[in-house]
Structure formats: structure tokens, C-alpha cells
Amino acid sequence: MVTIEVFDPSHVKEVLTIELTEEQVAFAGDAKAFLDEENGSVHRYVIKLNNNVVGFFKLDLGYSERYDFCPDGALGLRAFALGSDYQGKGLGVASVRALFAYAKEHFTGHREIYLTVNCKNPRAHACYLKGGFEDTGELYHGGPAGPQHVMRGQIV
């Protein structure tokens, strides 16, 4: 079963063992970058499968302050990564769905989650669609690896 937990120092060792492909690192950053960010508006989480850390992500409460496409009060999903050993097994979609369930329970004052996904990353785009996000049809051109699809999900 896929679950979401707030990141804490006990997760560091497991997070550092998560292997990502070069492509994933280009799009989402690596485990070290995930661990290094200390920002009051950014909350870090781990994705667990049967109590083992298999991925990580950040929810950014200040996303709308940095990105015009994101309305006030929406959360921003950043650095979503699942270990390469766990891809292609439906765990990405399960993780996105678990994220929505978690947000519904713990972020009751927020109605939407926004993210960008690189246009060169169709597998991630498909994963987000299957998990419950929709493509807004808008492109974001400020990313370091090229244009990105803007996606939105409703926290129901």
C-alpha cells in the first residue's frame, strides 16, 4: 500500500538510497536537492510502499506567489520523484492519488494543487493525468529544461 508521510530526519538515510535516472534528476532534482531545501512555505514528504521510502515530493504553500498561473490559495507540487526501481508498476499513479487523499485530510483550506511537468516527459504527464490532474492547456516557459505543461488537480 502506498502512503504519504511528512518528511523527518529519520527518513534521510532511505531518501538518499532512492535511485533516479538522469532524466528524472533533470526534471525533478535529486535526493540531495530535496533534502537541502529549507523554506518555511515548502513542506517535504516521503512516499512509502509497505513502510519503505520509495519516493519524495514537496508541497509549496507559496507557489502562487512565484507563478502567475497558480491562483491564490492553491498548493504547488514540486520535486515529485519515485525511485527508478518502482516505476512502470502503477506506483506513480497510486502515489498521486495518495497525495490527493493526504491533501484533502491535511490541507482543508486549499482547493487545488498545481504543478508543471516538462513537455519532454510524457510518462510523468500521463501519470499525473491518470492520478487525477488535468492539463490546463497552458505552457510555462520559465523552467531550466524547456517548456512545461501546467496541470491542476482539485482537492475534493
Q: What is the CATH number of the domain that holds 146?
A: 3.40.630.30
pLDDT at 127: 95
pLDDT at 64: 95
pLDDT at 89: 86
Cell (9 digits) for 79: 520535486
Instruction: Count the domains in the chain.
Output: 1
∠ CA 24-29-33, nearest 5°, is: 150
Boundaries of domain holding 106: 2-154
HEC-encoded secondary structure of the chain = CEEEEECCHHHHHHHHCCCCCHHHHHHHCCHHHHHHCCCCCEEEEEEEECCEEEEEEEEECCHHHHCCCCCCCCEEEEEEEECHHHCCCCHHHHHHHHHHHHHHHHCCCCCEEEEEEECCCHHHHHHHHHHCCEEEEEEECCCCCCCEEEEEEECC
- List the pLDDT tens digit at each of the 156 positions of the chain: 999 999 999 999 999 999 888 878 777 778 888 888 777 889 999 999 999 999 999 999 999 999 999 999 999 999 999 998 888 888 999 999 999 999 999 999 999 999 999 999 999 999 999 999 999 999 999 877 789 999 999 997
pLDDT at 88: 85
pLDDT at 81: 92
pLDDT at 146: 87
Strand partners, 117: 149
pLDDT at 12: 94
How many angstroms separate the CA atoms of 48 and 13, rounded? 14
pTM of the model: 0.93
